[in-house]
């Protein structure tokens, strides 16, 4: 322990005597570690955010549609020509799928499927380009994202009567009514009068995308009466037990394949999407980003390591007489090696600490400037960043340390 304390003290004095040189030398290590820490902090925060959003979307929800999720154009012909789902498909799933909970239909009226934009007006205020959905009263039970904040959801009786009622997203309600209570107010949706009976809980969407704030829901049969030309139908299925997601998906697929006449061995002519799809897609994107970050930071660390090795070789040359004197009074080769390795590790370790602090500050500043990018420091990446810095010092400090230990005492004492 005494030897190590002496090595640390000598290393500290050496670095303190050459502050500017030490600072410039550790710059590459600082940049490499800071880039790893900052990107890892942002990705870690985003991973937690995406996981929370997936849970909020509904971890027990299965979406059935004609088209692939998150792709709204440039579909190949065999996808564009797929048959539409019908309400009879919904009834078949309710009757035949034993593992399914609630099954609800959703009619969308969006620019994706209809070459017209939606508009909702209240007096002199209007909101354009929102998402209009026609569905049944159990919609918000199948999709937990849609929770009623004010008012209520329409009933099955109101759906059968084709009542013109609407539940608005909070963003739409705020834009139309301001401080005025929206419940009971009459709005015009695409020129047709509707009575507002509810407002959804706030949800701005994933990464600024559409969420409950931009969605208006009306009764399913009312939607069919007003826009009978729209054939697009999406089916939302509640999975009773999340552990049985795979069997339920297989059962749903088998029922629909029989109804749609899909030949054995042929691929499905429909899409089954779970909330985990979002998380899996995000993991693929962040995986590529992590690899890119590691490549860039590795280059910076290698450059920093070469700088450390160069400075340590200069230090060996400058301290040749000191090495000879230490050997003359009994220092062994191992002592000299440990001394120079300690200095190299202390140099890169200090760079690692500075890099960690700089990376954390960068991540927090990014979150402050762009609130949609959450940052959360990970103990794993902080430890990994410091370990990388120390590893660089060990690896690139070996050659100068061995070279210093191999010097002959007599030669060193004659050196000027």
For 287-312, what is each residue's pLDDT tens digit?
Answer: 666 677 777 777 777 878 888 888 77
pLDDT the model gives residue 310: 81
State the chain's mean pLDDT as an integer.
81
pLDDT the model gives residue 67: 84
For 320-331, what is each residue's pLDDT tens digit?
Answer: 777 777 777 777
pLDDT the model gives residue 365: 83
Instruction: Work out the pLDDT band at 206, boundaries 50, 70, 90.
Output: low
For 47-83, what is each residue's pLDDT tens digit?
Answer: 777 666 666 665 678 889 988 866 555 677 777 788 9
Mean pLDDT of 128-139: 91
Q: What is the distance between the alpha carbons of residues 323 and 214, in angstroms, rounded to a whole number? A: 73
Name which CATH class applies to 60-114+234-273.
alpha beta
What residue spans in the chain does CATH classification 3.30.70 cover? 60-114+234-273
Mean pLDDT of 235-242: 84
pLDDT the model gives residue 362: 84
Lowest mean pLDDT of 24-28, 95-99, 156-160, name the range: 24-28
- Helix/strand number for the chain, H first, E second: 15, 12
Over 80: is that where the pLDDT of 33 sits? yes
pTM of the predicted protein model: 0.66
| CA angle at 100 for the pair 98 and 102, rounded to the nearest 5° | 125
Q: What is the distance between the alpha carbons of residues 308 and 291, in angstroms, rounded to a whole number? A: 25
Instruction: Work out the pLDDT band at 134, boundaries 50, 70, 90.
Output: very high
CA atoms within 13 A on the CB side of 83: 12
For 239-293, what is each residue's pLDDT tens digit?
Answer: 877 777 788 888 999 999 999 998 888 989 998 887 666 666 666 666 666 677 7
Question: Which of 280, 239, 201 lies closest to 60 in space, CA to CA?
Answer: 239
Instruction: Work out the pLDDT band at 110, boundaries 50, 70, 90.
Output: confident
* Torsion sign across C-alpha atoms 86, 92, 94, 97: negative
pLDDT the model gives residue 174: 93
pLDDT the model gives residue 104: 94
Which is more confident, 373 or 343? 343
pLDDT the model gives residue 416: 53
pLDDT the model gives residue 200: 93
Q: What is the distance between the alpha carbons of residues 153 and 11, in angstroms, rounded to a whole number? A: 72
Please name the residue that has the structure tokens 């000299």: 336
Which is more confident, 358 or 50? 358
Over 90: is that where the pLDDT of 90 sits? yes
pLDDT the model gives residue 217: 96
pLDDT the model gives residue 2: 47
Which is more confident, 334 or 153? 153
């Amino acid at each position: 322990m005494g030897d190590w304390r002496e090595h640390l003290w000598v290393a500290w004095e050496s670095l303190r005597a050459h502050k500017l040189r030490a600072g410039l030398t550790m710059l590459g290590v600082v940049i490499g570690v800071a880039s790893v820490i900052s990107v890892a902090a942002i990705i870690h925060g985003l991973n937690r955010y995406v996981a929370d959003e997936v849970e909020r979307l509904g971890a027990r929800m299965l979406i059935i549609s004609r088209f692939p999720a998150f792709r709204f154009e440039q579909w190949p012909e065999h996808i564009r020509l797929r048959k539409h789902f019908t309400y009879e498909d919904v009834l078949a799933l309710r009757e035949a799928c034993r593992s399914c909970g609630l099954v609800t239909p959703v009619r969308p009226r969006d620019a994706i499927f209809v070459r017209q934009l939606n508009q909702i007006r209240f007096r002199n205020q209007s909101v354009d380009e929102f998402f209009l959905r026609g569905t049944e009263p159990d919609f918000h039970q199948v999709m937990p994202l849609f929770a009623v904040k004010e008012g209520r959801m329409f009933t099955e009786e109101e759906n059968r009567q084709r009542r013109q009622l609407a539940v608005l997203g909070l963003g739409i309600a705020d834009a139309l009514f301001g401080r005025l209570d929206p419940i009971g107010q009459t709005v015009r949706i695409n020129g047709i009068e509707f009575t507002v009976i509810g407002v959804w809980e706030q949800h701005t969407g994933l990464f600024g995308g559409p969420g409950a704030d931009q969605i208006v829901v009306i009764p399913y049969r009312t939607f069919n009466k007003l826009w009978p030309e729209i054939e697009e139908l999406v089916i939302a299925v509640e999975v009773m037990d999340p552990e049985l997601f795979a069997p339920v998906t297989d059962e749903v697929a088998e029922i629909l394949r029989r109804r749609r006449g899909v030949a054995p061995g042929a691929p499905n002519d429909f899409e089954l999407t779970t909330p985990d799809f979002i998380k899996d897609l995000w993991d693929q994107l962040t995986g590529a980003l992590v690899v890119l970050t590691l490549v860039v930071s590795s280059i910076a660390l290698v450059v920093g390591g070469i700088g450390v090795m160069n400075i340590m070789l200069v230090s060996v040359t400058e301290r040749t007489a000191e090495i000879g004197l230490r050997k003359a009074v009994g220092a062994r080769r191992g002592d000299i090696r440990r001394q120079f390795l300690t200095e190299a590790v202390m140099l890169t370790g200090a760079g690692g600490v500075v890099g960690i602090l700089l990376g954390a500050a960068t991540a927090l500043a990014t979150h402050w400037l762009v609130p949609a990018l959450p940052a959360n420091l990970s103990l794993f990446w902080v430890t990994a960043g410091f370990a990388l810095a120390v590893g660089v010092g060990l690896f690139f400090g070996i050659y100068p340390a061995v070279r210093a230990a191999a010097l002959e005492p007599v030669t060193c004492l004659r050196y000027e």
